[in-house]
Structure 1
Amino acid sequence: MLKTIANAALFQAGWFACVLGGDSVWLLIPIGVLIVHLLWISSWAAEGKLLLWITGLGTVLDSVLLMMGLFDFDTGGPLIPVWLILLWAILATTLNHCLSWTASPWWRASLLGAIGGPMSYYAGSQLAGVQLPLGLWPSMLVLGVIWAVVFPLLQGLARYLRTRQTNNSDGHRSDVPHE
C-alpha cells in the first residue's frame, strides 16, 4: 500500500515538474521520479520495456496531434517538447501500480481516459502555456475520444508485457503456447 501511495505521489510531483518547469532544470525531478520508481517501487527488469514502449508510443501520438494542429507548443518542430516526453514515461510508471485498478474491466480505463486525459491536457495548457488552436471544447472532445481508446490500450500493453515477463521469469518461452 505504501508503494502504491508513493507511486501516485511521485507521479504528481513529476507531472507538476514537467508542466510547470518545461524544458528546464526542473526535468531533473521527473528523472528522479523514474529512478526512485525503478529502484524502490519496481525495477528495470520488470518495467523497463513498458516505460520505453509507452514513452515511444505517447511521443508518436502527441507528435501526430501536434502536427494535426490540436496543440501548439511554440517550438516550431514536429516533435513534442522533452517535458511532455518525460510525462509519458512517468505515466507509464502508474499502469501497474496506482492505476492498476483501471486495467479490468476495460471500461474503467476507458472512462478514466475519457475524463482524465482531457483534464490533464487542459491543466497543462493553463499551466504550461500550451495553445489549443481548435478551441477549448472541440479540443477536449477530441482528446476525450482519443483517450477513451488509448488508455485501455496502454493498460492492455502493460498486461501483455507483464504476462510475457512473468512467463520468461518462470523459465517458459513466451513465444510458445503453454499446454
Structure 2
Amino acid sequence: MFGKVINALAFQAGWLACVLGGTPWALPTATVIVTCHLLWLSKPGEWRWLVGFTMLGAGVDGTLTLLGGLRFADASGLPLWLWLLWPLFATTLHHSLAWLWSHPRLAMLGGALGGPSSYLGGARLADVELAPWAVVVQAVLWGSLCGWLALRTVIYRDRP
C-alpha cells in the first residue's frame, strides 16, 4: 500500500514539474522518478511499458500538434516536458492505478474524463492552447486506452 501511495505522489510531483517547470524542471525530475521507480517499485519487464507509453505519447501528442489541436506559445513542435508525462503516467499502471483495471467500465469513464481534464489543466498552467475538438479526441483516446488496459487485465487474469 505504501508503494502505491508513493507511486501516486511521485506521478503528481512529476506532472507538476513538467507542466509548471517546463523542460528544465521536467527532465531531471522525470529522470529521478522513473529511475527510482525502476529500481524500487517496478515489476520485471515493466520498463517496456514506460518505453511503449513514451512512444505512444509522442505519436498522440505529435499528431495533435501537427493537426493544430495543441499550440505551444514558446516552442515549435512538441516540447520534451510533454513527452515526459507519458512514461510518468506509465509508472502508475501496475501500481497506484492497478485497482482500476479490474473495472473496465470505470476505467473507460476514468480515462474519458481524466485524460482530457489533465490536458485542460496542464494547458492552462503551461500556456498551451488546446483546440476544443482535441479535448473530444482525447476523451475518446483515453477512454479507449484505459478500457483496453482494463479488458487486457480481465482477459489475462481469467486465463487458466
In structure 1, distance between residues paired with 2:18 and 2:150: 23
For 2:88, the aligned partner's letter is I
Contact kept, 8 Å, 2:64 with 2:134, in 1: the verdict is no
**Match of residue 166 from structure 1:** none
Equivalent residue in structure 1 for 2:81, among 80, 83, 105:
83
Q: How does 1:1-179 map to 2 (within 5 A)?
A: 1-42=1-42, 45-74=44-73, 75-77=75-77, 80-132=78-130, 134-135=131-132, 138-154=133-149, 159=153
Task: After TM superposition, give the deviation of residue 20 of structure 1 in Å.
Answer: 0.8
Structure 1: give runs of 5+ residues left out of the alignment.
164-177
Deviation at 1:87, TM superposition (A): 0.6
CA shift, 1:156, in A, is 5.8
Check whether the contact 1:13–1:30 (CA below 8 A) recurs between aligned residues: no
Is residue 7–residue 96 contact of structure 2 (8 Å, CA) maintained in 1? Answer: yes
Tell me, yes or no, if the aligned pair for 1:50 and 1:92 is still in contact at 8 Å. yes
Structure showing greater radius of gyration is 1
Change (3 A) 1:61 1:9: same
Rounded to whole Å, the distance in 1 between the matches of 2:31 and 2:149 is 21
Identity of aligned residues (%): 40
Q: CA RMSD in A?
A: 2.2
When residues 84 and 155 of structure 1 are mapped into structure 2, their CA distance, relative to the original with a 3 A threshold, is: farther
Q: Aligned residue for 1:167? A: none
* Runs (5+) with no aligned partner, structure 2: none
Tell me the number of residue pairs that the alignment of Structure 1 and Structure 2 aligns. Answer: 156
Q: How far did 1:34 drift?
A: 0.4
CA distance in 2, matches of 1:153, 1:57: 14
Deviation, 1:47, is 0.6
Contact 1:21 1:27 in 2 (8 A): no
Look up the equivalent residue of 1:60 and give its one-letter code.
Answer: G
Q: For each residue in 1:41-62, what CA deviation from the matched residue of structure 2 results, as whole angstroms up to 9, or x when unmatched?
A: 115x431111111111121111
Calculate the TM-score normalised by the size of structure 2: 0.87
Paired residue secondary structure (1:98): coil
Superposed CA offset, 1:64-98 (max 9, x none): 11111111124223xx2111111100100000110
Whether the 8 Å contact between 1:19 and 1:128 is mirrored in structure 2 is: yes
